[in-house]
């Protein structure tokens, strides 16, 4: 073992052909069993690959749906942002001529409002 040789009974040593220690010929039952086992394994591998492909397809469909939803939501954000700008501008114009705001009796000091558009935009 000190010379880097495999231990007795290891896989490497067992695979080496030794004269007089030839493997026994397999019986027909052993051959049938091996064929059945290989066929069963082949079918299981096909089933596994099919399942994996179906899972990948489902994930891809989900990805596509989420991408579409994301696009629609971004469009909606854009429309709502434009509507907010328009309404804010309309309010500013209205405040300039509103009789209730111009009457000194109704005047109550109002602190300046922050820009409503800036707080709503995505960052």
pLDDT digits (tens, 9 = 90+) for 66-98: 999 999 999 999 999 999 999 999 999 998 888
Nearest to 84 by CA among 115, 38, 62, 61: 115
pLDDT digits (tens, 9 = 90+) for 2-58: 555 555 554 444 445 555 556 666 788 889 999 999 999 999 999 999 999 999 999
pTM of the model as a whole: 0.50
C-alpha separations of 12 from 5, 7, 29, 56, 78 in Å = 10, 9, 28, 40, 69
Tokens at residue 71, please?
A: 């696009």
Instruction: Say how far apart CA 77 and CA 120 lie, in whole Å.
Output: 9
What residue ranges do the domains of the chain occupy?
32-102
Tokens at residue 118, please?
A: 């800036």
Decide: 106 and 100 in contact? Cβ < 8 Å.
yes
Instruction: Say how far apart CA 115 and CA 121 lie, in whole Å.
Output: 11
pLDDT at 117 > cutoff 50: yes
């Amino acid at each position: 073992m000190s010379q880097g040789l495999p231990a007795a009974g290891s896989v490497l040593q067992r695979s080496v052909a030794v004269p007089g220690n030839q493997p026994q010929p397999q019986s027909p039952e052993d051959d049938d069993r091996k064929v059945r086992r290989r066929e069963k394994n082949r079918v299981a591998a096909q089933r596994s690959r099919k399942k994996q492909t179906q899972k990948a397809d489902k994930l891809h469909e989900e990805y596509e749906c989420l991408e579409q939803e994301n696009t629609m939501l971004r469009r909606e954000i854009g429309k709502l942002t434009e509507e907010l700008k328009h309404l804010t501008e309309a309010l500013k114009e209205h405040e300039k001529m509103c009789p209730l705001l111009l009457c000194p009796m109704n005047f109550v000091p109002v602190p300046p409002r922050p820009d409503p558009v800036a707080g709503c935009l995505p960052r």
